[in-house]
Amino acid sequence: MAVRVLKPGLATTVQDLGRPGYYHIGIPLSGAMDRHALVAANLLVGNEAGAAVLEAVFMGPELEFTEGATVAVTGAELPPKLDGEPRETWTSFRVKRGQILSFDFLKQGARGYIAVAGGIDVPVVLGSRSTYALGALGGFKGRKLEAGDELPIGSAAATGKDGRTVARDLRGQPAGMPTELRAMPGLYWHRITEAAGNGFFSDTWKVAPEADRIGYRFKGGKPLEFVPREPPFGAGSDPSNITDACYPYGSIQVPGGTEPIVLHRDAVSGGGYFMVGTVIAADMDLIGQLQPNTPVKFVKVDMNQALAARKSRSELLGKLHNALA
């Protein structure tokens, strides 16, 4: 069985839960920007939680099915249509051979996840089917989809049920405006003044147009003021430069001290920009659903609060599994 791509959408790629274990040699995690939504889509159609799906950004693809299948669309409110007839998001539905799946305009969020029973059966590369387009690695030929592509679909473990749905309180989407992103101050916090640190967490920022799988840029807050220093050996003269260091997933680098960039699933693993802190793991899925111009506030937390948030997010995922078991 295969799914034929009639129109690819804006930047549709194959993603699963990612490729951990290679960040130290420069290969990022990749995988879904919203992992919770990917898992929900897979469970709705009877797949393993981490099976490969399609991640569509802002605009959905148009797909023709060569065989019948069960499908679900989660994440962003990107309304699916089957032969032009509307279908619900976060709900599984049957597709017959020859039918065409397309999408209406994006209503909310940024990334939709399209799961097909059996999963997208592209080759496994370094333990994952995820696309890392910058490195032409994994996914479908290492790139985003193009018209005319034919995506192989695996054998479904069981016939997916029609009409299964995810309750709103189990979807894990951003709660409201401005979106709050919890962050811990980082190793370089001492490089900025106390007033600059307070301003970073009190300002309202907006998502800039430069927001993709590598990183999300934010603008609109006050520039950071740095503590005077003698540049260390190997660092540049700009106050935001450091001697090259590793970048954690979720780290917030601030080139020039003006516009923070949160590094995401396809991020580079190191460089010479100061990092003001790190967005906690529990909130990284939320970033994947932010559109440009969305207002955001960074909220300062400590390690205990970060661990409690991670536990809460994990419990939400457990409830999702139980609901769709």
How, if at all, do strands 295-300 and 179-185 pair?
A: parallel
The alpha-helical segments, DSSP class H, found in 78-153 are none
How far is 138 from 55, CA to CA, in rounded Å? 14
pLDDT value at position 230?
Answer: 85
How far is 256 from 239, CA to CA, in rounded Å? 7
How far is 34 from 207, CA to CA, in rounded Å? 17
How far is 242 from 232, CA to CA, in rounded Å? 8
pLDDT value at position 234?
Answer: 82
3-class state of residue 132 by DSSP? strand
DSSP state letter for 264: -
The alpha-helical segments, DSSP class H, found in the chain are 35-44, 194-202, 284-287, 303-324
Q: Whose structure tokens read 């790629």? A: 13
pTM of the model: 0.95
Which helix or strand (DSSP H or E) is residue 77 part of?
strand 69-77
pLDDT value at position 18?
Answer: 97
pLDDT value at position 160?
Answer: 66
CA-based diameter of the chain, in Å? 68
Give per-10-residue mean pLDDT for the chain (325 aa): 93 97 94 98 96 98 96 97 97 96 96 97 98 96 98 82 93 84 95 96 97 97 93 85 92 95 95 95 96 96 98 97 92
Q: How many CB atoms lie within 10 A of CB 155?
A: 9
How far is 26 from 21, CA to CA, in rounded Å? 10
